[in-house]
Structure 1
Amino acid sequence: MRVPTVIADADVVARRNLIKIKRVPDLLVFTTLQPIMFVLLFAYVFGGAIGGSLAGQNSLAYREFLMAGIFAQTVVFGATITGYALAEDVRKGIIDRFRSLPMAPSAVLTGRTFSDVMNNVLVLIVMSLTGLLVGWRIRSSIGEAVLGYLVLLIFAYAISWIMAWVGMLVPSPEVVNNAAFIIIFPLTFIANTFVPLETLPGPLQTFADWNPVSSVTQAARELFGNVPPGTPEPTSWALQNPALYTFIWAGVILLIFVPLANAQYRRAASR
């Protein structure tokens, strides 16, 4: 199958998924509602208490510290849409219909993951506007800010391929949600997303130092210029080079799970 054909087929699948968001706007509303609630909850309920641990900074400084963590958590959880949607398509027999069409098999998953990146773009726009309302500001250059968003989206795209594999593997969409929550929830909290790593106990701090969610958050925080003054320098290589470490993780995930997801797609579609 020629590469241009795969790209064209993937574009058609992506458009199909984006049109579904337009026709069922509740999908986007509920995707953005949870992170907005997290922003308001942490900014106004916990911000005063946690903000004091940021080298003596106030709650406003904590809101700037917080936003990169909310962005990271949002795009990682947003990647679960890939698995849920594919599991639903398998259950409804839509995947079998795709197989009957003269299209590249890999286009289904490629289109699905790309459309979910576009969904994450919309979510990040909404989240950025929410952050501006609570006092968050980008204090770096335009180029650095764009790179910060790209780091978030590239990592989310890699996670969506893991979710694509899971969606092809499990028997129902509900299982995808439950499995993703059990794994992703602790990953996003045992990290520097909401609190400084110095506040974590020793073993958890070591885990958080090398947790890729921490590196995504740290990269976005640095590129947005939101590292609080007086913050101690990271001690691990991963957080000293957060963007590079994130790209390494994304590359490894794609190398492993793109073939696995496509192989599982062929098996799932034939059952």
Structure 2
Amino acid sequence: MTLDFDRLRELRAADPTGISRALAERRRRDVIQGDGRLFIVAADHPARGAIAVGQNPTAMANRYDLLERMALALSRPGVDGVLGTPDIIDDLAALGLLDDKIIVGSMNRGGLRGASFELDDRYTAYDVPAMVRQGIDFAKTLIRVDLQDEGTAATLAATARAVDAAAAAGLPIMLEPFMSSRVDGKVINDLTANAVILSTAIASGLGNSSAHTWMKLPVVPEMERVMEATTMPTLLLGGDNGDAPDIMYSAWERALALPGVRGLTVGRTLLYPSDGDVAGAVDTAARLVHRNLP
């Protein structure tokens, strides 16, 4: 797919309001339509300093390569939308790639990977007023709960206020919670069923209304127990485990059949598959979400 990067660079330099026009003029769709399921491609990792994929420490560093992979993914049948920070969304809008796609705005990216303040995950990207103003369809937050790290308290409080604002605006907001801890200085998420259940319980109670709250949860063993922990609509996240795609797809397929699961939000695993076939990886995931696809 050929993208006009010369025009994108010129627009950013000489006519930055063109990005706002592109967002305002894009053709929008309902969040829930058709079979009621969603397949969202995620690309909000770089803003948190997470540009590695697998054993490649700089896989997501080349913005042009990332945009080409995103464009290819968004062109495939069954892809409902994209999750990103403003820089990514603005690029995609300026390139004309977001018609009939759901835009999910990533909000807290201040907990930089490897930083001493990683668990004090500040809201440094989208806020709710900006998303409403720009026509963003959905909000997303990350909540890593480390009971030994004081930074968790600030993140919980800020997330509660984000939920309040989203509910007041009628904007759906997905919360991505983990129980986390530091191991040899690195933040590690606990991917046992009990930990995911606990993080879901904590996240579910944030804010003064849960009417517009969704969950974004990892696929873990005993996923049936996890989905018994919430009545909120849930999207599954993919993580970074593309070295065993058949096992991964099978796990997704089983989890997608559970009550309450509405679809997938996956990024690096599909954008940077081990065999290099982005279209093939995206198509496989799309067919798992939307069972009526050929």
TM-score class, shorter-chain normalisation, is under 0.3
Quick check: which one's helix share is greater? 1
Structure scoring higher RCO (CA < 8 A, sep ≥ 6) equals 1
Higher alpha-carbon Rg: 1
